[in-house]
Amino acid sequence: MKSLPIQIKLTDNRKEKPNPETLIFGRNFTDHMFVADYDEGKGWHSHRIVPYAPVSLDPASIVFHYGQTVFEGLKAYKSPNGTVRLFRPEENMKRMNLSLDRLCMPRIDEDLALNALTQLIQIEKDWIPTVEGTSLYIRPFVIANEAFLGVSPAKKYQFYIILSPVGSYYKEGIHPVKILVENEFVRAVKGGTGGAKTAGNYAAGLKAQEVADQKGYAQVLWLDGVEKKYVEEVGSMNIFFKINGEVVTPAINGSILEGITRKSILHLLRHWNIPVAERQISMDEIRDAYDNGTLEEVFGTGTAAVISPVGELNWDGYKMVVNHNETGPLARQLFNTLTNIQTGNEEDPFGWILQLNNELAKLA
């Protein structure tokens, strides 16, 4: 990991830390943040760790009007022996660059960004909660801050990393949720921005979520935008189906986000010699599997929730209750293994964990 000279200015006013037993996702932020500026011709510069503070932007900033912004999400955990652990952070930095490319935004140096992140977390390590199910959520993001009302890529950007101590994404923890298959609204389509982690994809999904909420469903299952036939994602997670002993997840096709939890689960399944397929999967096929009794488990995967079992799928009024609306054994096993590796309760045989203490020792 490359070392980055970062200006550090610590706050004089430390905030009170929230009660780890009642943490809500995404509401509390730590005392400091990382910031860097980009100017065309000069590149990224002025890397700094500063007190967490409002962003000051010209009202004509491109991010407000033309949506040039990308983000990432990952988590840090404190292991039982006090070590700070990051889960596959290099994958997030790599994906961030793919997103930046798609949005015509300047790439970051992945190594330097990772180094900045470790320095920030070192400063904020007392903010990492240790109660079961909690972690420090990390949100790197880049916004276009040039003041210009023209539809073209900005010449000025800012890169931020902010940190938020979080509880479980779903207040209830791991338990099956009811999902509405979405036939009207579309999250993303081939040729669009669905494969990038950018704000517009999430904004596009809110309306369908609102309708699902009103009908008593926790999330929507997105279908492809062309034929409305093939499964894409669930809410803002990837989705897996266990059908007759085989685990199937939609193949990466340009409109699906390539989740890092998705990738890790595929790795675990293959490691366990469980049959796995990444391919197109239609709702017809899922209904057939349900009808003939081979739809064994369905679950969503993502950084925030890790694993989110699906207890019911409603497709145009046809209700499919999965595994008696209980968390299936595979979902449970994947959740336990992943979270145990993340938190340090189980060994990491895959080299997924970056131990902060080791990294900082290398820099010293």
Task: Give the residue, chosen from 2, 8, 15, 55, that forms a contact with its own copies under the rule CB under 8 A.
Answer: 55
Q: How far apart are the first and last CA of the chain?
A: 12
Which residues does 16 contact at the CB level (< 8 Å), separation at least 6?
none
Considering only 47-55, 113-121, 284-292, 350-358, which stretch makes contact with its own copies by CB under 8 A? 47-55
Among 30, 68, 119, 168, binds its own copies (CB under 8 A): 68
| Nearer to its own copies (CB atom), residue 303 or residue 323 | 303
What is the per-residue burial (b if ≥16 Cβ within 10 Å, else e) of 176-209?
A: bbbbbbbeebbbbeeebbbbbbbbbbeebbeebb
Is residue 102 a contact point for its own copies (CB under 8 A)? yes
Residue 58 as a binder of its own copies (CB under 8 A): the answer is yes
How far lies 120's CA from each of 5, 15, 124, 241, 344, in Å? 13, 16, 6, 38, 21
| Shortest distance, position 15 Cβ to its own copies, whole Å | 13
Which H/E stretch holds residue 111?
A: helix 110-123
Query: Which of 3, 94, 126, 150 is in the footprint of its own copies by CB under 8 A?
Result: 150
**Which residue is associated with the tokens 């309708």?**
211
Q: Which of 201, 303, 314, 327 binds its own copies (CB under 8 A)?
A: 201
Q: What's the maximum distance between 2 C-alpha atoms anywhere in the chain?
A: 64
Asked if 48 touches its own copies (CB under 8 A), the answer is no
Tell me, residue by residue from 113 to 132, as one string, x for binding to its own copies by CB under 8 A and - for no binding: --------------------
Tell me the closest approach of the beta carbon of residue 195 to its own copies, in angstroms: 12
The answer to whether residues 82 and 353 touch, using CB atoms and an 8 Å cutoff, is no
Q: What angle do CA 93, 96, 102 make, to 5 degrees?
A: 150
- Name the residue nearer to its own copies (CB basis): 207 or 270: 207
Q: What is the CA radius of gyration of the chain?
A: 21
Tell me the window of 22-30, 107-115, 122-130, 355-363 that interacts with its own copies (CB under 8 A).
Answer: 22-30
| Residue of the chain from 106, 167, 176, 225 that contacts its own copies (CB under 8 A) | 225
88: left (phi over 0), alpha (psi -120 to 50) or beta: left
41: left (phi over 0), alpha (psi -120 to 50) or beta: left
> Please, what is the angle between helix 110-123 and helix 356-363, to 10°?
110
Contact between 68 and 143 under an 8 Å Cβ cutoff? The reply is: yes
Name the one residue in this structure whose structure tokens are 């990390």.
Answer: 138
Q: At 289, which helix (H) or strand (E)?
A: helix 283-291
What's the closest the beta carbon of residue 122 comes to its own copies, in angstroms? 20
Rounded to whole angstroms, the Cα distance separating 270 from 278 reads 12
The reply to whether 303 sits near its own copies by the rule CB under 8 A is no
- Nearer of residues 167 and 328 to its own copies, judged by Cβ: 167
| Min dist. Cβ of residue 226 to its own copies (A) | 5
Among 19, 152, 244, 340, binds its own copies (CB under 8 A): 152
Among 89, 235, 259, 311, indicate the residue that binds its own copies (CB under 8 A). 235
Beta bridge partners of 44: 38
Is the four-CA dihedral 338, 342, 346, 352 of positive or negative sign? positive
Site for its own copies in 154-193 (CB under 8 A): 160, 162, 164, 184-193
Q: Which stretch binds its own copies (CB under 8 A): 118-126, 143-151, 312-320, 322-330?
A: 143-151
Which of residues 209 and 339 has its CB atom nearest to its own copies in the complex? 209
User: Of 202-221, which residues contact its own copies (CB under 8 A)?
Assistant: 202-207, 209-210
Binding site for its own copies (CB under 8 A): 25-27, 29, 33, 52, 54-61, 63-69, 71, 73, 102-104, 137, 139, 141, 143, 147-153, 160, 162, 164, 184-193, 198-207, 209-210, 225-226, 228, 235-236
